Amino acid sequence: DGGITQSPKYLFRKEGQNVTLSCEQNLNHDAMYWYRQDPGQGLRLIYYSQIVNDFQKGDIAEGYSVSREKKESFPLTVTSAQKNPTAFYLCASSVRDRESQYFGPGTRLLVL
C-alpha cells in the first residue's frame, strides 16, 4: 500500500518536554510538509522540504524543528519553546514542489 503514515495517532506532552512526531511516505515524493490545524480553522504551514537535506520555515516555525535525512522521512520535533502545542498535526507530501499535496492521517498532540 502506498501512502503517508504518521505516528503516533495521539501524543501527550509534559511541560518542558520535547516530543517528535513521525511522518513516513513510500510514494517516492520529493517534497514534504508539516501543517498545524487548530479547531475550526484551516491549516498553517510549519516547515517544508523540497528535497533531501534541505528544508524551509513556513509561517509558524517558531518552537518547532525538522530534519530530512531520508527522502521517505520528515520528522517534526515540538520543542519546549512552543508554548501552545495542543493541535492536530498533519504531514503531507507531493511529487515535487507545487504539485498536489497528499496528507497523512494526522497526530493529535495534547499537553498534560
Partner 1 sequence: GESVGLHLPTLSVQEGDNSIINCAYSNSASDYFIWYKQESGKGPQFIIDIRSNMDKRQGQRVTVLLNKTVKHLSLQIAATQPGDSAVYFCAENAGGTSYGKLTFGQGTILTVHP
Residues that bind partner 1 (CB under 8 A): 4, 6, 31, 33, 40-45, 48, 50, 56, 58-59, 90, 92, 94, 97-106, 108
Contact at 8 Å (CB) between 46 and 61? yes
CB of 49 to partner 1, least distance (A): 9
* Closest CB 83 distance from partner 1, rounded Å: 23
Beta strands 19-25 and 76-78 are antiparallel
Stated as kind and residue range, the H or E segment containing 47 is: strand 43-51
What is the C-alpha separation between 86 and 20, in angstroms, rounded?
14
Least CB distance to partner 1 at residue 107 (A): 10
